[in-house]
């Protein structure tokens, strides 16, 4: 499985964090959730953390879906 890439985040005043994926807004975190996110980003791989927090990560069923008869061409 390829590693996630293309994520970035910006911390704004008031405790808000905005996460983007390839320049497009993915999610906004406020308050306690933003603080938990920032702590997790410091402790682990930022790309993996941002992929998990935005829900944009591989779920393991891509090969099954690709091989389904309606998706074959």
* Structural domain includes residue 11: yes
* Confidence (pLDDT) at 35: 95
- Number of Cβ within 10 Å of residue 20's Cβ equals 16
Euclidean distance between CA atoms 38 and 24, whole angstroms? 20
Q: Give the number of domains in the chain.
A: 1
* Structural domain includes residue 32: yes
Q: Nearest-CA neighbor of 33 among 20, 22, 44, 49? A: 49
- Widest distance between CA atoms in the chain: 51
| Percentage of the residues of the chain whose pLDDT score is greater than 90 | 52
pLDDT higher than threshold 80 for residue 66 = no
Q: What is the pTM of this model?
A: 0.72
- Number of Cβ within 10 Å of residue 40's Cβ equals 16
Q: What is the mean pLDDT of residues 40-51?
A: 92
* Structural domain includes residue 73: no
* Structural domain includes residue 68: no
* Structural domain includes residue 62: no
| Percentage of the residues of the chain whose pLDDT score is greater than 70 | 81
Confidence class of residue 50 from pLDDT cuts 50, 70 and 90? very high
Euclidean distance between CA atoms 30 and 36, whole angstroms? 10
Domain that holds residue 49: 7-57
* Structural domain includes residue 40: yes
At 18, is the secondary structure helix, strand, or coil?
A: strand
């Amino acid at each position: 499985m390829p590693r996630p890439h293309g994520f970035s985040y910006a911390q704004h005043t008031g405790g808000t964090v905005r996460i983007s994926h390839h320049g497009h807004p993915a999610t906004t975190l406020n308050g306690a959730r933003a603080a938990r996110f920032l702590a997790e980003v410091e402790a682990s791989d930022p790309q993996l953390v941002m992929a998990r927090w935005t829900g944009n990560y591989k779920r393991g069923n891509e090969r099954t879906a690709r091989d389904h008869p309606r998706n074959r061409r």
